[in-house]
Amino acid sequence: MTGRFIAIRVLALLSVLLGVNYVAWRWLASVNWEAWWIAVPLVIAETYSLIDTLLFAVTMWRARERPRPAAAPQGTVDVFITTYNEPIDMVMATALAAQRITYPHETWILDDGSRAELSAAAEAAGIGYLTRSADWADKPRHAKAGNLNNALMATDGEFLLILDADQVPDPLILENTLGYFADDPQVALVQTPQWFVNVDEADPLGSQAPLFYGPIQQGKDGWNAAFFCGSNAILRRDALMQLGIVGYVRDLEDSVVTALKAAQRMLRRAASAHDLPADVAAELGRLAAAVHRARADLALGAPIAEVTAEVHAEVQAASRRLVQVDLAGIRADVEELAALAVQRDAELDAFVVDDGALDALAARELTPLGTIAAVDALVDAVRVDRPGEAQPIQPLATISVTEDMATAMQLHALGWRSVYHHEILAHGLAPEDLRTMLTQRLRWAQGTMQVLLRDNPIVKKGLTFGQRLMYFGTMWSYLSGFAAIVYLAAPMIYLLLGVLPVTAWSVDFFARFLPYFIVNQILFVVVAKGIRTWRGQQYSLALFPVWIAACVTAFANVVFGRSLSFVVTRKDGRAAGGPPWRQIWPQLTAMALLAVSVVVGIVRVIAGTADGTGTLVNTVWVGYDLVVLSVLIQAARYQGYRPAEPAASSSALEQKEPPWTSL
């Protein structure tokens, strides 16, 4: 154990202990209940931050710096390059670089845009080209996850290297990573960093994320929770296929159970009707018993197809018996169904209805026939071939617009392992304007919150305690938008109105808060080990409207079924239009109000109507908020990446060649 690692553990422990001491004191002794409307939200926000500190400390407690794998690379590999509408020259630059990967492999372009020009370019270069099969017509497409799932069924490599259209791979990417799979047959995923060549030192859009692609992923790796980030990752096909099959079986079982429960409710409701004929009551009773028996058989492991077939047969038999018994009472319905095979028998002076007519009548909205037909429809809708999907088996998770994290979490829940390999082995392109960056961050946050709401890691079976915390920590971070509003509002309220959220700016306050704050910042410095983390800290607060919008829209999607759009991140230059001032109006408004509050606060001190200590503390607080939010002004005015010595080629990827091109 190195000295730095010991220091991280000591600082992490101190940070948590000092934080608990401060927040406990805040709740028990310093909340100004007379101004509860701001005092309580502030202490709740501080409690949120303490939990954030705890999750970060736990993450770094087992940070793991891996050596290169000892085993030699082995196994067949398919390289997948996913694309939808990116420029063809960009896609081909990545594909040609993938073709040059030294380890034997097959390179495939997965074109979700079905472009003839790209198909021709791939064929000319001897690169495989795949697009959606006809099975996907008029079916849910599941964005990038669907594109990958389609390709999985058309290829057979033991391992898959997944690259976004802009991520140009190092020739040694497979040589340096495949050994992990040979070292440990339970490894399903090896993730490498994402690094961008079109980002300057200032990184005004905060694209590089060196804290995440470094200490945080290494920390998660120590808990076997390093997760798939969508690109620059190698996955084991067997693990994905197992995931797809397990998911298919579970979804089918859940659907059958749900259908049978609904059928029981409907039958109970129908049987409770007054003046129900004895024959009808008997049929409903027999059918309810069949449904109950089906649920019991399913719980004992009976095949789903057999269970649903038996229920379907019982429903059909009950329907036919009821129709035959009550035929005289439904002549009007027979007359109305002119299209049915209904004939009049002159000798009997009656209607004669063939088998097809009986079946059609059983499906009519009659009482209780309507109920029985609805039960049949419920059970029949649950089919093993999943006709509502293009593929019955979907290995990549489709519960979120960010399929990567969801897939990794499900792999971990099945007992598979993951690896974070901290070596830059691909060079890509980041957004070059604020508008595109905001869209990208919104999609990431929406997808993460979808996973939280649909597959909460805290209660997910199969995950270890550490894995639950690691996944939850990532999801928890996107709730920071709500805390940010309080952190922005509290100093303004004091400076403008003199309303104090704490009982006093006492020695007790500073003696508890300052050690907690200082140790927390030192922990970040030691963890970062020289890498720049300030941009990430700025954007965690400055993008508060994006985080709030993501939480709200994801909730509306999961709970109310409102759709979320999937927008491919533009990486071929700046989006049209000038600075997106309208998209950051909440932050600009906050900055204006913060500036006004400082002026008012100073005037109140001069006039003798405000406390000097409180005004000083909140002025410093406001100054910090303004410095953090100011990154958006710089980002809005950013003109995009300008290399010092641009090459003659117009391709953005070629304007700054990755360092490995000289190898």
Is the pLDDT score of 321 beyond 90?
Answer: no
pLDDT band of residue 280 (cuts 50, 70, 90) is: confident
Kindly state whether residues 84 and 224 are assigned to the same domain: yes
Beta bridge partners of 130: 110
With b for 16 or more beta-carbon neighbours within 10 A and e for fewer, the 138-154 pattern comes to eeebbbbbbbbbbbbbe
Decide which of 360 and 304 is more confident.
304
Q: Is 164 helix (H, G, I), strand (E, B) or coil?
A: strand
Beta bridge partners of 106: 78
- Per-residue model confidence (pLDDT) at position 645: 57
Residue 460 lies in a domain: no
Euclidean distance between CA atoms 285 and 283, whole angstroms: 5
For residue 340, which phi and psi values (nearest 5 degrees)? -80, 160
Euclidean distance between CA atoms 543 and 42, whole angstroms: 19
pLDDT band of residue 98 (cuts 50, 70, 90) is: very high
Cis peptide before 303 (omega within 30 of 0): no
Decide which of 612 and 373 is more confident.
612
Residue 386 lies in a domain: no
Q: Is 126 helix (H, G, I), strand (E, B) or coil?
A: coil
Kindly state whether residues 313 and 258 are assigned to the same domain: yes
Give the pTM.
0.84
Domain that holds residue 165: 77-245+391-431
- Per-residue model confidence (pLDDT) at position 260: 82
Bridge-based pairing of strands 233-236 and 159-164 is: antiparallel
Kindly state whether residues 521 and 630 are assigned to the same domain: yes
By residue count, the chain amounts to: 663
Residue with tokens 């993501």: 550
Euclidean distance between CA atoms 294 and 483, whole angstroms: 49
Question: Which span out of 15-19, 261-265, 384-388, 403-407 was modeled with the highest average pLDDT?
Answer: 15-19
Kindly state whether residues 254 and 239 are assigned to the same domain: no
- The whole-number average pLDDT for the span 63-81 is 95
Residue 645 lies in a domain: no
* Per-residue pLDDT tens over the stretch 397-419: 888 888 899 999 999 999 999 99
Kindly state whether residues 146 and 231 are assigned to the same domain: yes
For residue 93, which phi and psi values (nearest 5 degrees)? -60, -45
- Per-residue model confidence (pLDDT) at position 566: 63
Question: Which span out of 228-237, 317-326, 435-444 was modeled with the highest average pLDDT?
Answer: 228-237
Kindly state whether residues 257 and 354 are assigned to the same domain: yes
- Show Cβ contacts of residue 615 under 8 Å, excluding neighbours closer than 6 positions: 494, 495, 601, 602, 604, 605
pLDDT band of residue 363 (cuts 50, 70, 90) is: very low
Residue 458 lies in a domain: no
pLDDT band of residue 246 (cuts 50, 70, 90) is: confident
In this structure, what token pair is assigned to residue 518? 């200082």
Where is average pLDDT lowest: 66-70, 165-169, 248-252? 248-252
Residue 522 lies in a domain: yes
What's the structural domain count of the chain?
A: 3
- The mean predicted confidence, pLDDT, of the chain is 86
Kindly state whether residues 174 and 230 are assigned to the same domain: yes
* Per-residue pLDDT tens over the stretch 628-662: 999 999 999 988 887 765 444 333 333 344 433 33
Kindly state whether residues 538 and 615 are assigned to the same domain: yes
Kindly state whether residues 359 and 403 are assigned to the same domain: no
